Amino acid sequence: MKINNKNLAIAALLMILLLSFILFGVTGFRTIFGMFLLLFLPIYLILSNFKLGGDEKIFFSFFIGIALFPLLVWYLNRIVPSLRVTILVTFILLILIGLFLRKRFRKL
Amino acid sequence: MNKKDIILVTILFLVALWLWTLPIKNNPLPFGEGDAAWHFANGDWAAQSDHSFWRSPPYIAYWYYGYNTILGEAALEYPPPWHLNEGIMQIIGGERFVPVFIYIAITCFLFIFSTYFLIRKLYGALPAFLVGFGLIFSLRNIMVYLWGQRPTTASFAFIPIILYSFYKYFNSHMEGKERPIYLYITVLLMAGQYMFHLMGLIITVPVVLIFAIFLSIKNRKFPVTKSNLKTILICSFIFLILTMPFILIYLGGGGQAPTSIKIQKISSLFHWFRHEKADVANVYPAARFPYSQLYGNHLLPFLFLGIIFLLIRRKDKDILLLSWLVGMYLVLHLDVLSIGDTGRISRLLVAESYLFYSIIVIGLVNLISLIKLPSQKKNYIKYALVVLFLISVTSIQGKQAYSTLNNAYQGILRITPYQYEYAEWIDKNLPKDALVHTVGPITYPKMRFIHVLSHRFLIDQSRYSSFHNHSLVKEKNLTIDYLLIDYSDLIQLQNQERFGKYLNYTLEWEKSLQPNLTLIYEGKYHRIYKIKDNYLSNPGDFPFQFL
């Protein structure tokens, strides 16, 4: 079976999740998966619409996401009364922006 | 990203995650110095109250400044992202400590991956892996992570990735094939760095400017032209929009801008970083580590070799690293112009290891190119050197790092389950604005973690007088209404004369205060009282100082 980069990246993520589970149980798994889901994925979907290298998208996404996701949460939480709900709203909003950009714009 | 990169990054991440989370694996209760407790407090409160905040609760607000001269009382003291992430981690991890400390470990070792990325893109996978591997065990970074200046450490991690994106943009501009996306990415990353901590930008900005100047001179092309002026203006606007709302936090936060430039400590210009012990005492213990301990005497010659290589070759990527070196040197000597004090400036040394390890590895892998040999033999020697590097780093720095992390804040040097239990009782039962005079916990950080976990302002014995003299306390007429006496640490240490004496004194002192106290909660080793009339004990009477 030929292993492509995408499959290898998924395997790598699974290995990291497995280690976090071995070290800290469900809490570790939830934390690492949550970081991937909230702090990385939405910005990655947005950056996917631009002409950048695959590795550039991955690294830029995490570093931008880790700072700008909570910033957006903080602003939205001025309006939305619950932090938990705001996290969800921010996540959905960023995913929608990523999908919108994918649909609307050609690669820059 | 090719297969090799995925494998190498995964290996680095797995090793770093395992190693850097050892302190929380061994004991899931929070650790660190006083700063660590304060940083933990901000995210903890957001998650526990299910709301991020602009005005801090009293137990956080009164801790340091208490009053921002522009934004008013209890305003935020940092931009929210780093702390709010802690709260987000509590929520997604479903637990109060472990998710936060996994997040803290990851943000504190992020520099390994940003440096890997920079070196990978500029010099290839092998040097990048070696740099990343060396950095996993970087003791200065580990110590700062353990002590608690964590947002600063995380902010420095942005430096290499910002340098990379700016390098890509500026190169494309110099070549006339402009890629504005890299400049947009650069400003987003710089804004992110600012959001984590202002200190990171103090290094990034001069390095970026120096690189732009050097490359402009090399290419004889002005960095700002008609073609990129619009992009630069848009980027500046984006940066200001993102950062300006929080600039007042720093401007009104109690720091003082230098009023005049005075030249001093000229002799320090002849050193990479020179400090007197007194300059860094109580500010930043990492500055005390000798370079032989941080990099090993066997690796330091490669640093000089690497610098020589960069100076001789001077490709654009080499100029980037040289700019970083020059920029670091300049910011480490800001105190010569009386901008910042040496103690504060010494914190910038956290970012030194990324640069030094990068140059060390460049020195190492290029050493072989000096020798005239057939390419196959050169390859053998190269890989032999690589193996030697990995073995030496693992056996010297690795061993030291493992033992430091594995033994960090053991036993009663960390808040105990017993103390956490009564902290939760305080949280549930005392009024939100209660001020609690606290006697017993043996270290200042422990006291602060009990303070944070109980969501109440605890005043320890050593700060009792200064608390009463604080202008805010006088202005608001704050009074201390509760007394917490915790013997749990002292009982364990009573065989040591100093603590035995303190234990006996405290028992007597507690007895003498009885007419003034009403017991409201009693545990096996602690009691909490409501104070009938406000009292002021003389802290000098206590034969006790924190460990």
Exposed/middle/buried for residue B220 (C-beta within 10 Å: 0-12, 13-18, 19+): exposed
Quickly state the pLDDT bin for B471 (edges 50, 70, 90): low
Question: What token pair was written down for A86?
Answer: 């705001």
| Better-scored residue on pLDDT, B253 or B202 | B202
Distance from CA of A56 to the nearest CA of B (A): 8
Q: Tell me which chain A residue has its CA closest to the CA of residue B112.
A: A59
End-to-end CA distance of chain B: 49
User: In chain B, which residues fall in CATH 3.40.50?
Assistant: 413-541
Residue pair B64/B104 in contact (Cβ under 8 Å)? The answer is no
- pLDDT at res. B539: 46
pLDDT, mean over chain B? 89
Report the distance separating Cα B482 and Cα B473, nearest Å.
16
Please give the average per-residue pLDDT across B455-479, as a whole number. 77
Contacts of B239 in chain A (CB under 8 A): none
Angstrom CA distances, B293 to A88, B128, B223, B227, stand at 46, 22, 41, 49
Report the distance separating Cα A32 and Cα B21, nearest Å.
13
CB atoms within 10 A of CB B269: 10
Q: pLDDT (tens digit, 9 = 90+) per residue, B238-250? A: 999 999 989 888 8
Q: Does A34 sit within 8 Å of B89, measured CB to CB?
A: yes
Alpha helices in B94-157 (DSSP H): 98-123, 125-136, 139-147, 150-156
- pLDDT at res. A43: 97
Q: What is the dihedral of CA B463, B467, B468, B472, to 10 degrees?
A: 170
Q: Which residues pair with B522 in a beta bridge?
A: B527
Nearest CA-CA partner of B78 in A60, A70, A63: A70
- Phi and psi angles of residue B27, each rounded to the nearest 5 degrees, phi first: -155, 115
Residue pair B130/B386 in contact (Cβ under 8 Å)? The answer is yes
Please give the average per-residue pLDDT across B181-201, as a whole number. 96
Q: Does A23 sit within 8 Å of B18, measured CB to CB?
A: yes
- A residues 37-76 lying closer than 8 A (beta carbon) to B: 38-39, 50-55, 58-60, 63-64, 66-68, 70-71, 73-74
- pLDDT at res. B537: 54
Q: Which residues pair with B73 in a beta bridge?
A: B67
Q: Does A77 sit within 8 Å of B52, measured CB to CB?
A: yes
Q: How many CB pairs under 8 A join A and B?
A: 156
Q: Does B117 sit within 8 Å of A59, measured CB to CB?
A: yes
- pLDDT at res. B245: 87
Does residue A108 carry a pLDDT above 60? no
Q: Tell me which chain B residue has its CA closest to the CA of residue A30.
A: B93
Distance from CA of B397 to the nearest CA of A (A): 23
Quickly state the pLDDT bin for B507 (edges 50, 70, 90): very high
A5 interfaces chain B, CB cutoff of 8 Å? yes
Contacts of B14 in chain A (CB under 8 A): 15-16, 19
Largest CA distance in chain A: 51
Residue in B82, B103, B193 closest to A31 by CB: B103
- pLDDT at res. B254: 63
Please tell me chain B's helix, strand, coil percentages from 3-state DSSP, rounded to the nearest 5: 70, 5, 25
- pLDDT at res. B345: 84
Contacts of B117 in chain A (CB under 8 A): 55, 59
Residue in B84, B93, B110 closest to A27 by CB: B93
Q: Does A64 sit within 8 Å of B188, measured CB to CB?
A: yes
Q: pLDDT (tens digit, 9 = 90+) per residue, B451-462? A: 999 999 998 877
Q: pLDDT (tens digit, 9 = 90+) per residue, B325-383? A: 999 999 999 888 877 777 788 888 889 999 999 999 999 988 877 778 888 888 888 88
Contacts of B46 in chain A (CB under 8 A): 83
Quickly state the pLDDT bin for B106 (edges 50, 70, 90): very high
Question: What token pair was written down for A77?
Answer: 């939480």
* Interface probe, candidates A48, A71, A97, chain B, greatest B C-beta count within 10 A: A71
CB atoms within 10 A of CB B94: 14
List, in order, residues 6 or more apart from B501 with CB less than 8 Å away: B543
Please give the average per-residue pLDDT across B274-303, as a whole number. 73
Q: What is the dihedral of CA B128, B134, B140, B146, to 10 degrees?
A: 100
Report the distance separating Cα B530 and Cα B520, nearest Å.
7
Q: Does B81 sit within 8 Å of A74, measured CB to CB?
A: yes
Report the distance separating Cα B295 and Cα B299, nearest Å.
6
Report the distance separating Cα B331 and Cα B272, nearest Å.
11
Question: Residues for chain A: how many in total?
Answer: 108
CB atoms within 10 A of CB B501: 14
Question: What token pair was written down for B174?
Answer: 């110099």
Q: Is CATH 3.40.50 the classification given to domain B413-541?
A: yes
- pLDDT at res. B283: 57
Residue in B84, B93, B120 closest to A31 by CB: B93
Q: What is the DSSP letter of A4?
A: P
Q: pLDDT (tens digit, 9 = 90+) per residue, B169-190? A: 999 999 989 999 999 999 999 9
Contacts of B1 in chain A (CB under 8 A): 5, 9, 53-55, 58
* Interface probe, candidates B3, B10, B27, B48, chain A, greatest A C-beta count within 10 A: B10
Report the distance separating Cα B122 and Cα B451, nearest Å.
47
Q: pLDDT (tens digit, 9 = 90+) per residue, A16-59? A: 999 999 999 999 999 999 999 999 999 999 999 999 999 999 99
